[in-house]
Amino acid sequence: GAVVSQHPSRVICKSGTSVKIECRSLDFQATTMFWYRQFPKQSLMLMATSNEGSKATYEQGVEKDKFLINHASLTLSTLTVTSAHPEDSSFYICSASGQGPNQPQHFGDGTRLSIL
């Protein structure tokens, strides 16, 4: 089955630090990757959609300068949380889908980000 690897799984860092999270599709080419944020016991909230070789599309209310997304290849997308603050602490999850209609999204295992 399709495997999406997300790294790191957990980050604890000081306020003001920038943190990079990687999302890789291991056995398929992902033309589109998605970044989500999830609060405890809640559903996933889409932050942005990233397409290989083009700028990411951000959802309303998501600061593009705060959450930098790069999708440099068909198997890798990165999310950088710049100058992170405690309110950025959350569970961040990426997903990837292959080419073609009705392709399901396959999710990474998420990154627990804790800003002190």
Partner 1 sequence: TQLLEQSPQFLSIQEGENLTVYCNSSSVFSSLQWYRQEPGEGPVLLVTVVTGGEVKKLKRLTFQFGDARKDSSLHITAAQPGDTGLYLCAGLPEPDYKLSFGAGTTVTVRA
* Window 51-90: contact mask with partner 1 (x via CB under 8 A): ----------------------------------------
What DSSP state is assigned to residue 114?
E
- DSSP class per residue in 39-96: -TTS-EEEEEEEETTS--EEPTT--TTTEEEEEEETTEEEEEETT--GGG-EEEEEEE
Q: Among residue numbers 95 through 114, which ones bind partner 1 (CB under 8 A)? A: 95, 101-102, 104-110, 112
Q: List interacting residues with partner 1 (CB under 8 A).
A: 4, 6, 32, 34, 41-44, 46, 49, 91, 93, 95, 101-102, 104-110, 112
